[in-house]
Amino acid sequence: MFPSSFSPHSLPLRFWVNMIKNPQFVFDIHKNSITDACLSVVAQTFMDSCSTSEHRLGKDSPSNKLLYAKDIPSYKNWVERYYSDIGKMPAISDQDMNAYLAEQSRMHMNEFNTMSALSEIFSYVGKYSEEVSLGLPRGNSGLTYLHPRPLP
């Protein structure tokens, strides 16, 4: 089945399902309720495909689960093969991984606009300064920066 070093839900649930259900995190789009409902069906199908448990469906099952029920076994085979293929890959050393990441960092160092990122962060903090300040513990230097005047 799945190699023991992989949790079958870690990658799908923590990353891909979030991206599927929230494309506005990656793209500058507005997601209306119809699109949200469609993406929820796709995300649920993806989660069911990555699940190791068997789903028994009946006449009372939600329609979104029934919609792709016949396709789930095929998708489960794809997922199982994916993890199996990863498990068969040779392990790489920490040194090789660090060298690869350093090379990628060097190759893409001019693609990230630090000033633009800081501007976005400051814009966000300005917009939500009250919520941010409530989330910071009192006496924190960040809180002093956000509110130069003493808080009540």
> Buried (b) or exposed (e) across 65-79, using 16+ Cβ within 10 A?
eeebeeebeeebeeb
What's the pLDDT at 39?
A: 93
- Read off φ and ψ for residue 139, nearest 5 degrees: 85, -5
Note the pLDDT tens digit of each residue in 2-51: 445 556 557 777 888 899 999 988 888 889 999 999 999 999 898 888 88
What's the pLDDT at 91?
A: 92
Domain ranges of the chain: 10-91, 93-152
Summary mean pLDDT of the chain:
82
CA count, 13 A, side-chain hemisphere, 3 = 11
The pTM score is 0.57
Nearest to 17 by CA among 52, 53, 41: 41
**Would you put residue 139 in left (φ > 0), alpha (ψ -120 to 50) or beta?**
left
Report the C-alpha gap between 46 and 133 in whole angstroms. Answer: 38
What's the pLDDT at 145?
A: 52
